[in-house]
A and B are shown apart, each in its own frame.
Chain A
Amino acid sequence: MAEPATATQAAAPAVPQLKDELDIVIPTIRNLDFLEMWRPFFQPYHLIIVQDGDPSKTIKVPDGFDYELYNRNDINRILGPKASCISFKDSACRCFGYMVSKKKYIFTIDDDCFVAKDPSGKAINALEQHIKNLLSPSTPFFFNTLYDPFRDGADFVRGYPFSLREGVPTAVSHGLWLNIPDYDAPTQLVKPLERNTRFVDAVLTIPKGTLFPMCGMNLAFDRELIGPAMYFGLMGDGQPIGRYDDMWAGWCTKVICDHLGLGVKTGLPYIYHSKASNPFVNLRKEYKGIFWQEEIIPFFQQTVLPKDCTTVQKCYIELAKQVKEKLSKVDPYFDKLAEAMVTWIEAWDELNPTGSSVTNGKAK
């Protein structure tokens, strides 16, 4: 049975890696009590809290954490009219945190995610594993049957060409969840009691040309390599869809990573996901997405980015163009989304002037 670790079980690492180079972005609408459990692992790092919902509410941050907090008023003030691209009443608003961060790496986690235990009972330092994933290369061009060859105790298998063994820089580290699995509403309705108790001790690179459903609950990325692609779309209040924010960001990100020769890893670390959201509420939010994804997936699978798209921003603007051309016929929402994607890039570049396009991953 999966169980979360208690706060006392978690042991802080002797030297927190990248502590001045990584921001932890947390969207919240309720409270940040969950941070107590993560204290030994998170306290050395700077937090960016994005407060969704009513800005007049005060969200208390537990003592001892170094943080900046943004509510809707702050978002409107900082972005002006461009704030329209940031969702309201949806955790998609977290991407505002990516935009205002000044660090190289981002780790984002939901406020109902706790510290998990590995099969030996040890508390899992999810942040440490994400950092390991990001700091070691990915291998998207050829699948290694022993999974991540850079992990301790593993390597490339017989037949793996030596010329591909250097790998490419890792842009994204996608973690998983024990206990409440990230199912869609129909699956939740059919299997309300299913819990993920399987600890799969692997990290692997998602091969080039393969898309995946990226979950934003436990995610880390190299902001300098891929940040502008991590736009979580238009969701929530006033929008016809919800719970597709991270999916959208994931598909855009993967297409761009494939184009620029960057890697995406999935697998460890696990966190313990404690809260099952209401499947009926979810169904209403996802309903359109379930139909639309049948069109969206082939769109992303067939997307080709021109060779002159050599930065993430250029790739993203090109994607926005193609979304407008090819997906507006599915629903006018995609017109709005395509425009919001452009607004996002404009806002990103405003808040992150010069230098940022230079440090993006290189196109092949």
Chain B
Amino acid sequence: MSLSIKDDEIDIVIGALRPDLTSFMNEWRTIFSRFHLIIVKDPDLKEELKIPEGFNLDVYKKPDIDRVVGTSTSTIFSGYSCRYFGYLVSRKKYIISVDDDCYPAKDNKGILVDAVAQHITNLTTPATPFFFNTLYDPFTEGADFVRGYPFSLRSGVQCALSCGLWLNLADYDAPTQALKPEERNSRYVDAVLTVPARTLMPISGINIAFNREVIGPALLPSLRLGGEGKFRWETMEDIWSGMCVKVVCDHLGLGVKTGMPYVWRNDRGDAIASLRKEWEGVKLMEEVVPFFQSVRLSREATTTEDCVAEVANVVKEQLESKDPMFARAAKAMVDWVKLWKSVGSSTSSPGA
């Protein structure tokens, strides 16, 4: 059912938080080498990047980022947020992004998972957010809509975001992983499903893909923890961004899928060491979740940029008094929309 997508409609964006990308790139070579890659080096990283030969890629480092957005703005791309610079400068329709400590996973039959192909399939087949299908993705081979699924809802909506999962080191927060230091995710769940409309979830940035033309500006660097660090346990930026994206998608009638593809996430870091830093983020979620659940966008917000600007306003009105982090996040969102409009290609321009 998926349309045939040309390789040159896809950018693979990698945020480099570690300098030596040799084994990462080599492990992904058979899957990535057909595509154009955008590698963005964390502006805080001092060492030179080591990237093996044989890829079609563009590498952006601090000087490049400074040149494009100015030195004062480039700070928003520090750490894991460096990948958003890649989203900003990409001119492709689809973006796939995985963390630099993830390798291709194997499925239950021992076959290497082509995460790119699965993400593209997810993005190019409809999503079904208005009614839950108990056989999960009805567009996948061997499945369909079940008895009782209204026919008028069977054409679905465009899928804007595809959220993948992780084997081995799951994306737990630091307290959870610290309590179960040996636990690794070994369960390969052979399903893709649409996250229902108005249902929110923590969208992990470790393994995602999206339709940049449709939803690009909504994936944004804005919430930065005071003690944000270089391990996922020490960040909430993707979770915040993901809540914005879901609210915008729900408002615009776009779909978000979750499930396959899996990537294999390598062991890295120490949950207990990260515990103190992430505690901030854990507390914040108690405010963040009810807040996003209550956000309602106006009828006039018909583009992604408008939606993001409205969310930023509501963040400012309702959350800024609770923590200065939110005030900064709201401002970052507004700035991001301006940046997107001036640097990123507009969402309505065809085939940018």
Q: Is A158 an interface residue (CB 8 A)?
A: yes
In chain A, positions 95-140 with a C-beta closer than 8 Å to chain B are 119
* Contacts A201-B188, A202-B189 given; does A212 touch B144 at CB 8 Å: no
B152 touches A119 (CB 8 A): no
Q: Is A194 an interface residue (CB 8 A)?
A: yes
B152 touches A184 (CB 8 A): no
Q: Is A334 an interface residue (CB 8 A)?
A: no
Q: Is A199 an interface residue (CB 8 A)?
A: yes
When chains A and B are docked, how far (Å) is the Cα of A303 from the Cα of B50? 59
Q: Is A243 an interface residue (CB 8 A)?
A: yes
In chain B, positions 129-147 with a C-beta closer than 8 Å to chain A are 131-136, 142-147
Q: Is A333 an interface residue (CB 8 A)?
A: no
Contact with A along B78-90 (1 / 0, CB 8 A): 0000000000000
Most buried by B among A191, A246, A247, A293: A293
In chain A, positions 184-233 with a C-beta closer than 8 Å to chain B are 184, 187, 191, 194-202, 206-215
Interface residues on B, range: 35 or more
A213 touches B134 (CB 8 A): yes
* Interface of chain B, main secondary structure: loop
A215 touches B134 (CB 8 A): yes
Chain B residues, CB < 8 A from A297: 131, 150, 153
A210 touches B170 (CB 8 A): no
Question: Would you give the shortest CB distance from B202 to chain A, in whole angstroms?
Answer: 3
A158 touches B147 (CB 8 A): no
Q: Is A346 an interface residue (CB 8 A)?
A: no
Chain A residues, CB < 8 A from B239: 158-159
Chain A residues, CB < 8 A from B288: 161
Question: Would you give the shortest CB distance from B340 to chain A, in whole angstroms?
Answer: 24
Chain B residues, CB < 8 A from A184: 145-149
B186 touches A161 (CB 8 A): no
In chain B, positions 189-238 with a C-beta closer than 8 Å to chain A are 189-191, 195-204, 232-233, 236
Chain A residues, CB < 8 A from B275: none
Most buried by A among B136, B147, B189, B201: B147
Question: Would you give the shortest CB distance from B290 to chain A, in whole angstroms?
Answer: 8
Q: Is B38 an interface residue (CB 8 A)?
A: no
Contact with B along A298-310 (1 / 0, CB 8 A): 0000000000000
Partner of A176, one of B135, B170, B200: B135
Q: Is B163 an interface residue (CB 8 A)?
A: yes
Chain A residues, CB < 8 A from B145: 183-184, 187
Chain B residues, CB < 8 A from A32: none
A294 touches B147 (CB 8 A): no
Partner of B200, one of A143, A174, A182, A183: A143
A176 touches B134 (CB 8 A): yes
Chain B residues at the A interface, C-beta cutoff of 8 Å: 108, 131-136, 142-153, 163, 165, 170-173, 176, 180, 183, 185-191, 195-204, 232-233, 236, 239, 242, 258, 282, 285-286, 288-289
17 CB < 8 A contacts A-B: A146-B170, A154-B187, A158-B176, A158-B202, A158-B232, A161-B285, A163-B286, A176-B135, A183-B146, A184-B147, A196-B142, A198-B191, A200-B190, A210-B196, A215-B148, A293-B148, A297-B153
6 closest Cβ contacts across the A-B interface?
A: A159-B202, A213-B148, A143-B201, A159-B239, A212-B132, A207-B199
